[in-house]
């Protein structure tokens, strides 16, 4: 661990144990109108395995849930949005989102959510429900993870990324940089790049499986407080698609979820958080009333229902880090 990071982490812990973020959260809501905080996660793992990307261990996830329960009224995203108009309950609201629909959500997150009676929304990529699929961003991480420590340079055509890879956090940073660039490329280009990267680097035999949730698990969870929303059919960056292609991704995934769960008005979540005015209007045209983005912040009664803000919580490996990120976000709210 770097010295600077170490000092910062100790400061965050100190703030947390002195109750600074908790104090801010408790007293902010008496002064302002109620707010809804949406926290987004991806994978929840049995223990923190170093070769799982965007993952948090079940133990840390439980610590997060405990902290959130102590400081917020936990609601489903859609109930939270309704409650923002119902006056100030004396507490702010928080909702859990899990993106992409990994099987580990059922195995490790769901038992904790049930134990604490906390609702959540899982956003499904409908073409991969029940499949043993490894997404390209996980394949990139697996390849980067298997690079030996030291300097690495990755040729991405228009730019070459130089990195020092001495520990896992530097590998995660490199995977994040590569994935961010790839998210704006067409599918065939992504596949070519990832296949070449794997050929060059992947040497780990035992890559963690990324088995996706099936309808059996989805239905069971749906009967016990978990809602499901659409994250498109294939997790394509919608901004790169023509109107007709984007509409197909939106409408078909919505239909599959609503038919299988006999529900209506499922929510939407933008893949890679990517949207513009064109995509927002297509989301509305497809019949969605609520869509979550990766814009940072809290939501209030005036927030745009098609670009709901959230906080990414999956990389926060302690409850104190979560508490500080929430308090920091709250202090920077305009309203
Ligand atoms: Zn996603």
User: Which pair of tokens denotes residue 241?
Assistant: 């698609």
Residue with tokens 């993106």: 99
Q: How many CA atoms lie within 13 A of 220 on its CB side?
A: 11
User: From ligand 1's centre to the CA of 237, what distance in Å?
Assistant: 10
User: From ligand 1's centre to the CA of 6, what distance in Å?
Assistant: 30
User: From ligand 1's centre to the CA of 64, what distance in Å?
Assistant: 21
Residue 203 reports pLDDT greater than 80: no
Exposed, middle or buried: residue 20 (CB in 10 Å: 0-12, 13-18, 19+)? middle
User: From ligand 1's centre to the CA of 290, what distance in Å?
Assistant: 16
User: From ligand 1's centre to the CA of 137, what distance in Å?
Assistant: 10
Residue 224 reports pLDDT greater than 70: yes
Residue 202 reports pLDDT greater than 90: no
User: From ligand 1's centre to the CA of 231, what distance in Å?
Assistant: 7
User: From ligand 1's centre to the CA of 140, what distance in Å?
Assistant: 15
User: From ligand 1's centre to the CA of 122, what distance in Å?
Assistant: 10
For range 243-265, the mean pLDDT? 97
User: From ligand 1's centre to the CA of 2, what distance in Å?
Assistant: 30
d(CA 68, CA 77): 14
Contact 196, 162 (CB under 8 A): no
SS3 content of the chain, % helix, strand, coil (to 5): 45, 20, 35
Picking from 265, 259, 233, the residue whose alpha carbon sits closest to that of residue 81 is 265
Q: pLDDT tens digit string along 260-271?
A: 999 999 999 999
Contact 25, 330 (CB under 8 A): yes
User: From ligand 1's centre to the CA of 236, what distance in Å?
Assistant: 9
The dihedral sign for the CA sequence 173, 326, 57, 19: positive
User: From ligand 1's centre to the CA of 272, what distance in Å?
Assistant: 6
The dihedral sign for the CA sequence 56, 92, 80, 37: negative
**pTM of the predicted model, to two decimals?**
0.89
d(CA 236, CA 125): 10
Q: Which residues surround ligand 1, an ion (CB under 5 A)?
A: 99-100
Q: Delineate the domains of the chain, giving CATH numbers in brackets.
A: 13-132+218-331 (3.20.20.370), 136-201 (no CATH)
User: From ligand 1's centre to the CA of 40, what distance in Å?
Assistant: 10
Percent of the chain with pLDDT over 90: 59
Exposed, middle or buried: residue 59 (CB in 10 Å: 0-12, 13-18, 19+)? middle
Picking from 98, 88, 107, the residue whose alpha carbon sits closest to that of residue 38 is 98
Residue 314 reports pLDDT greater than 90: no
pLDDT band at 208 (very low <50, low <70, confident <90, very high): low
């Amino acid at each position: 661990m770097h010295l600077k990071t170490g000092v910062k982490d100790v400061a965050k812990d100190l703030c947390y144990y002195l109750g600074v973020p908790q104090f801010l959260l408790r007293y902010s809501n008496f002064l302002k109108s109620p707010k809804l905080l949406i926290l987004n996660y991806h994978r929840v793992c049995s223990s923190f395995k170093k070769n799982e990307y965007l993952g948090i261990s079940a133990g840390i996830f439980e610590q997060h849930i405990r902290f959130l329960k102590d400081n917020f009224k936990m609601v489903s995203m859609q109930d939270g949005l309704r409650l923002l108009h119902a006056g100030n309950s004396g507490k702010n609201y928080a909702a859990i989102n899990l993106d992409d629909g990994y099987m580990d959500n059922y195995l490790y997150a769901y038992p904790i959510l049930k134990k604490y009676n906390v609702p959540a929304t899982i956003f499904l990529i409908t073409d991969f429900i029940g499949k043993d699929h490894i997404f390209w961003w996980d394949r990139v991480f697996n390849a980067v993870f298997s690079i030996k420590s030291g300097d690495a340079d990755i040729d991405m055509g228009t730019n070459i990324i130089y990195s020092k890879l001495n520990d896992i956090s530097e590998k995660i940073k490199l995977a994040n940089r590569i994935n961010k660039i790839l998210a704006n490329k067409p599918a065939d280009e992504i596949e070519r790049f990832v296949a070449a990267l794997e050929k060059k680097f992947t040497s780990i035999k035992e890559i963690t499986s990324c088995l996706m949730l099936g309808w059996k698990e989805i239905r069971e969870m749906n009967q016990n407080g978990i809602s499901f929303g659409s994250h498109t059919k294939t997790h394509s960056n919608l901004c790169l698609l023509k109107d007709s292609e984007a509409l197909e991704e939106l409408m078909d995934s919505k239909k599959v979820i609503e038919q299988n769960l006999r529900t209506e008005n499922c929510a939407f979540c933008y893949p890679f958080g990517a949207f513009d005015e064109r995509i927002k209007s297509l989301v509305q045209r497809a019949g969605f009333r609520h869509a979550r983005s990766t814009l940072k912040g809290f939501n209030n009664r005036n927030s745009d229902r098609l670009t709901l803000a959230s906080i990414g919580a999956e990389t926060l490996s302690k409850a104190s880090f979560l508490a500080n990120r929430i308090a920091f976000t709250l202090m920077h709210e305009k309203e």
